[in-house]
Structure 1
């Protein structure tokens, strides 16, 4: 008896897993996918996790694929956004996880159909070409649609965001977030096809594609100038349920700013940046708050850009960012265009109140949707303003660049999420926004993580989270327009269209093939 008989070893990956095994594998895949996001942000696990999910989907019907996708999505979302339970309890977390897992489930069902309809193909062009591309398009299309609907969607846990500090991050400057997600999904899907049916040429293609994505440089950007920013982190108790005296958050950020008074760099500051809700009292309605902010602006001879809640009339409230120029007051203002549903406003209040009245009543006021441009003049610099989850909205980033923004000020309040990973996940999104837009992003938080991110995604400066502090830095300004910004929503439309066209094409081809087979049997 010899150790090698000459027969080709059986590839067990070609065998369809029992459903219960597929559910376990998909759950593990979802958990691995979660670990690719902060923290611990092990970016290769995005490829491995997705590959396991795709392997679990092979040989399934649509409904079995949907079930596998639900398990994968539940594991991913349930672990990734567990920070939502910190103050609000399990109900909002469960509801959002269920919705997002359903999206993953639907894409799982669609991907299962792709595998089913091509299971008997003998064409390497279909097996190693069309299938990975269509599977990648379906995954990226699902992310795009889930980021848009319902109620404006929830743009989190996109594959691209897991690559914020990976060698693939620079790709986002060329093809945007949707394009990078598509690329990661195609690489993973092609790897699965090769594992199931090893072929030399597809291996070369996979290697060349992966290497090309790694070697693609960030789109070159030109520096049009610099501006010196003083960024303050007050480490404030600014959460929804934090007990505090009115004006305490404002006082915290004043103190953090004044701590820079003896810094030699503070003698020529161009702007002072405070986070979302950096002033918990509206200086447009409070003379005391106005006097305090003006004193800080006057001391440093620089405008203060701060978040605050404005109440221009009656029951109309905005989550706003204002530019306070010393001796002049408010010279520019941005009102958040897309308040967060179920946090900053309650959609269908009567319906949801009938289900969970205590939770709905926590959202005591509904913020209005702003209409002002998200680019403001700050001491001669055109600054794009992003308030909290605005940074996840690629359309708003494109709007900033189109409006002439030379820098992005991302003001956020992460106090509601304690010391969880939420702020790190948001920082990763801000990092990709910097690369995608070729703009320096000043990510300023009430509690952390406050950081200045260069246009290439590297960190210029960063504060220790959950401690008061300040940064002073000369940051680059840019007027570069990247291919991702030029393409706009075209990439998103493209992946949605490609996924639909692929499904329809494969479905029609499968139907024709079955019809032909039936005719042959009937003869």
Structure 2
């Protein structure tokens, strides 16, 4: 493919990939987009491979992450999308090298090249999900399949495994198109059928649990006009209809208490009255200060106050804290100066015990980090509760993108998920990823729902810490081995020519 055509094709395919994610969720587009992305990298020089992948990455990330600019303007959006695009472009170089070695070295002319390319795609996603500043594993390709017939496979291989499978299918189909032989379609068809036949991994039901969940729709955005206590007022008002029905736990979203109840007696007294009226403990969230450090804290509150705490493990860089503040203040002092709080990462486990029931937790963007979900599962979580605040992204599809992750977590863990937001949307999600109940966006609402508890560990949870690194390292080692073999062949050829001369 000529380079100008490849760049145009990459831009179109990159922008098209966003259509596979919510809000639209046209998941088949992901297969077309990834196939075109791989096609544009074949036969490229390394600088051209970077350019083509950069074009694809920019078209995708600047579209997909446009919600970042909703309130803070273009600078954070350009910075985040630009960095992700550059990292994506660098990954394209590795894929081009794999195709080059596969084309010139007979031992790599096999279906294994598709797995090799898919592994390098996963390597790129793994690096972007861990670096810099903890990474941003927001838009892994496998998430596009949450509404597809392939979704149940996530209970076996996780989101990372779905990314690998998707790219294997696309790479195999591209090889079949290149060879123009019907036998070339056997590998992609086989992988498609195998994935479709993978059932939802069975986890054992261990009883039921009555959850009250409340979306207060208060003024919880960073720039919302509000006074102290307004958010707490909104949550209390929305919770009023739940007085009377029995429940095991009341759940409020992230930022639902706009005071530190560990230090503010008035806020603590209001929470005491809340749990007394509800007849159940409450899982609430607030910014807390302890030992001179600030945390984003979820608290299990009962008649004795905060009896269990969980602090957000991964505060958002440039949202909840500023890494290397001295450097970024020199670049954008007004913007960085708006971020006054410096949240400290939590070290307490993302799990709470509610009268013998283990509840796994993730606060807002922590839902995208595998280690948080895995730690809850290791601690025996029978149900997950995700508390979030999407108020700063009203009018965008950010909350729907986050919902896709929450739904995928339900499938991966084989657990019901309670996903509660300040302004929406909030859901009860079944272990198969189905939304069972929902409160619409920008709506105050409260419900009591009886949900299932589940025991048992899915293969996806077991593989979470391993599948990305193993696929990444294996593919990288294969690339280094191919490069070494190529270099040794060239050296041996040069030596023979010298002897002949």
Instruction: Tell me the TM-score range normalised by the shorter chain.
Output: over 0.9
SS at match of 2:245: helix
Tell me the residue number matched to 1:69: 53
Determine whether 1:471 maps to 2:438. no
- Deviation track 1:59-78 (CA, whole Å, cap 9, x = no partner) reads 10121111111000001100
CA contact (8 A) 2:242 2:278 kept: no
Report the TM-score when normalising by structure 1. 0.92
Which aligned pairs between 1:255-266 and structure 2 lie closer than 5 A?
255-261=237-243
CA-CA distance at 1:312 after TM superposition? 2.4
Report the TM-score when normalising by structure 2. 0.96
CA–CA distance in structure 2, aligned partners of residues 341 and 438 of structure 1: 30
CA-CA distance at 1:515 after TM superposition? 4.8
CA contact (8 A) 1:234 1:253 kept: yes
- Out of 225, 238, 249, the position equivalent to 1:243 is 225
- Out of 207, 221, 238, the position equivalent to 1:225 is 207
Tell me the residue number matched to 1:101: 85
Determine whether 1:320 maps to 2:297. yes
Which aligned pairs between 1:352-431 and structure 2 lie closer than 5 A?
352-431=328-407
SS at match of 2:387: strand
Superposed CA RMSD: 1.6
SS at match of 1:83: helix
CA–CA distance in structure 2, aligned partners of residues 492 and 437 of structure 1: 17
Determine whether 1:270 maps to 2:254. no
- Deviation track 1:141-197 (CA, whole Å, cap 9, x = no partner) reads 111111111100001110111111211111221122221111111111111111111
CA–CA distance in structure 2, aligned partners of residues 62 and 499 of structure 1: 18
CA–CA distance in structure 1, aligned partners of residues 364 and 353 of structure 2: 20
Determine whether 1:299 maps to 2:286. no
Determine whether 1:193 maps to 2:169. no
Tell me the residue number matched to 1:438: 414
State the aligned residue count.
499
SS at match of 2:310: strand
CA-CA distance at 1:513 after TM superposition? 4.5
CA–CA distance in structure 2, aligned partners of residues 92 and 368 of structure 1: 21
Tell me the residue number matched to 2:475: 499
Tell me the residue number matched to 1:10: none
CA contact (8 A) 1:302 1:379 kept: no
CA contact (8 A) 2:91 2:120 kept: yes
Tell me the residue number matched to 1:92: 76
- Out of 429, 440, 453, the position equivalent to 2:429 is 453
Tell me the residue number matched to 1:279: 257
Tell me the residue number matched to 1:3: none
- CA gap of 1:485–1:324, structure 2 versus 1, over 3 A, is same
CA–CA distance in structure 2, aligned partners of residues 287 and 329 of structure 1: 11
CA contact (8 A) 1:311 1:318 kept: yes
Tell me the residue number matched to 1:169: 151
CA-CA distance at 1:466 after TM superposition? 1.0
- Deviation track 1:57-100 (CA, whole Å, cap 9, x = no partner) reads 11101211111110000011000000000111111111111111
CA-CA distance at 1:431 after TM superposition? 0.8
Gaps of 5+ in 1: 1-16
CA contact (8 A) 1:128 1:190 kept: no
Tell me the residue number matched to 2:192: 210
CA contact (8 A) 1:275 1:307 kept: yes
CA contact (8 A) 2:170 2:188 kept: no
CA–CA distance in structure 2, aligned partners of residues 42 and 509 of structure 1: 42
CA–CA distance in structure 2, aligned partners of residues 187 and 50 of structure 1: 10
